A and B are shown apart, each in its own frame.
Chain A
Amino acid sequence: MSKTVAVIDYGMGNLHSVESALRKAGADRVVVTDMPDAILSADRVVFPGVGAIRDCISEFKRLGCDETLRAVIEAGTPVLGICVGMQSLMTRSEENGGVACLDWLQGPVTRFPQDHRDTAGAKLKVPHMGWNRVRQISAHPMWNGIDDNAYFYFVHSFFVPADQCDSVVATFEYGLEGASAVAQGNVFATQFHPEKSHDNGVKLLSNFLDWDGSC
């Protein structure tokens, strides 16, 4: 089946990689847009995000993308949130002095602690930047063909604590346990960047194209 993917463009940076990786994963058509009609008529919707969350949320709302995304989710269209896109779907973030998020998934976004260390006392750098293992804690069609504990690329300073959100389907370990991915109904969102995660990332995007939005 021919599929059109809309990548929501709300002016927060480069979406070139997301678009290219979706094409590599087999998307027939990728539109990068903020136009409600184009987003609503797409077969799949990607909600990317980079940068500071306050700016992301305020631009997203200013362009009316929050209402469009609500309609998309309610229509049952599969949605993939990436990085700050995932964080924006949560209840609230500590970043920028505290920002109310879209609250599609319930749970907080907090910062890695100052002077963050592992259990052996070794210093852990923030941002959490690089390739980390993704532990799948719940089965999901998005994991098809991806090994448990496979490596994905992360870069972030804020995270969803794994024990403070009921929607966590995968975790990462970095001196603590954070959410690698959250899912609820037709929404799936990753803290890591599938578009930067080589073969595993392309596979995840290919699963997204195949996923009908049910679990």
Chain B
Amino acid sequence: MALAKRIIPCLDVDQGRVVKGVNFVGIRDAGDPVEIARRYNDAGADEITFLDITASHEQRDTTYRTVEQIASEVFIPLTVGGGVRAVSDIRTLLNAGADKVSINTAAIFNPELVKEAAERFGSQCIVVAMDVKDLGDGSGRYELFTHGGRKETGLEAVAWARKMAEFGAGEILLTSMDRDGTKDGYDLGITRAISDAVDIPVIASGGVGTLDHLVDGFSEGAADAVLAASIFHFGTYTVGEAKDHLARAGIHVRR
């Protein structure tokens, strides 16, 4: 099959500055999302995801300017997520240069937003982000959570993914809140269950610590793309090393 599996570095950005730190050799300003995006672009990243964690909605102008700057210099797809609540937010981000917009909490409280956005802007630019947790009661049931994994919604993950695909989502960004930050690897069970349940691409996220975890995300998790932050930010591995490793494992990547 000719379509390459994608590697997507993710930047957390607060008021126009990258947080959680980035540790690249020779980088001038580790907090500058534009410079970091350019570095990832040069390193062979397939896309870039930019998660805006700016708390105040009023400070979003900084975010828009950052998106504009990245889009002017980085010629690979850019997804922007975080705090997207209304069709007008999506329009502003797309006009600023985002190629895709990721909707998370707002999709839970107002699923019609996904439908409306997909109809207006096309499914290709609407990503639905799902933060999921294993209920841990032995039922194998995963539910959606909000507020960084603190608030449960009662929504079952696989059914939700199907509904979002029906509503016109073009892609699902699936984050395991159990694994996020652990470096124990993606939650492969739920990743595969969702990837098998929908026809749209699924991005695995949360928990990657080694290059084998990326391999597992594709082979066992059946993901179409993998998102990673810290392994790249802290210079543990480069995107090139990740792709070499995946290629050796028989995963088709763009090099």
Chain A interface residues (CB < 8 Å from chain B): 13-14, 16-17, 20-21, 24, 50-52, 114-116, 118, 122-133, 151, 153-157, 172-175, 195-198, 201-202
Known: A131-B3, A174-B3. A51 touches B122 (CB 8 A): yes
The yes or no answer to B196 lying at the interface (CB within 8 A) is: yes
Is the CB–CB distance between B2 and A196 below 8 Å? no
- Tally chain B residues at the interface, Cβ within 8 Å: 39
Contact of A174 among B2, B5, B99, B171 (CB under 8 A): B2
Known: A17-B71, A198-B75. A151 touches B4 (CB 8 A): yes
* Alpha-carbon separation in the docked complex, A132 to B171 (Å): 17
The yes or no answer to B123 lying at the interface (CB within 8 A) is: yes
Known: A14-B94, A20-B72, A153-B76. A118 touches B123 (CB 8 A): no
Is the CB–CB distance between A155 and B124 below 8 Å? yes
Set of chain A residues within 8 Å of B99, measured between Cβ atoms: 14, 17, 196
Known: A50-B124, A51-B122. A129 touches B96 (CB 8 A): no
Is the CB–CB distance between A17 and B1 below 8 Å? no
Set of chain B residues within 8 Å of A50, measured between Cβ atoms: 121-122, 124-125
Chain B interface residues (CB < 8 Å from chain A): 1-6, 41, 46, 68, 71-73, 75-77, 94-99, 119-125, 170-171, 196, 199-202, 222, 224-225, 254
Set of chain B residues within 8 Å of A131, measured between Cβ atoms: 3-4, 6, 46, 254
Interface centre among A14, A116, A123, A201 (most CB of B within 10 A): A14
Is the CB–CB distance between B75 and A16 below 8 Å? no
Number of A-B contacts (CB under 8 A): 114
How far, in Å, is B251 (CB) from chain A's closest CB? 13
Known: A125-B201, A196-B76. A130 touches B122 (CB 8 A): no
Chain A interface mostly helix, strand, loop or mixed? Answer: mixed
* Alpha-carbon separation in the docked complex, A150 to B76 (Å): 15
Is the CB–CB distance between B224 and A130 below 8 Å? yes
Set of chain A residues within 8 Å of B77, measured between Cβ atoms: 153, 155, 196
How far, in Å, is B103 (CB) from chain A's closest CB? 17
Is the CB–CB distance between B3 and A130 below 8 Å? yes
A-B contact pairs, 30 of them (CB 8 A): A13-B94, A13-B95, A14-B98, A16-B68, A17-B71, A17-B75, A17-B97, A20-B72, A20-B75, A21-B75, A24-B75, A52-B122, A125-B224, A130-B4, A130-B5, A130-B46, A130-B201, A130-B225, A131-B3, A132-B4, A153-B77, A156-B124, A172-B2, A173-B1, A173-B2, A174-B2, A196-B77, A196-B99, A197-B76, A198-B75
Q: Given contacts A16-B97, A130-B224, A173-B2, could you give 6 more A-B pairs where the C-beta distance is less than 8 Å? A: A14-B99, A129-B224, A130-B3, A156-B124, A175-B1, A198-B75
Known: A17-B99, A197-B75. A116 touches B119 (CB 8 A): no
* Alpha-carbon separation in the docked complex, A37 to B133 (Å): 57
Set of chain B residues within 8 Å of A196, measured between Cβ atoms: 75-77, 99
Residue of A nearest to B72 (CB): A20
Set of chain A residues within 8 Å of B123, measured between Cβ atoms: 127, 157
Residue of B nearest to A202 (CB): B75
* Alpha-carbon separation in the docked complex, A100 to B202 (Å): 33
Residue of B nearest to A19 (CB): B72
Is the CB–CB distance between B224 and A16 below 8 Å? no
Is the CB–CB distance between A52 and B119 below 8 Å? yes
Set of chain B residues within 8 Å of A197, measured between Cβ atoms: 75-76
Interface centre among B2, B196, B201 (most CB of A within 10 A): B2
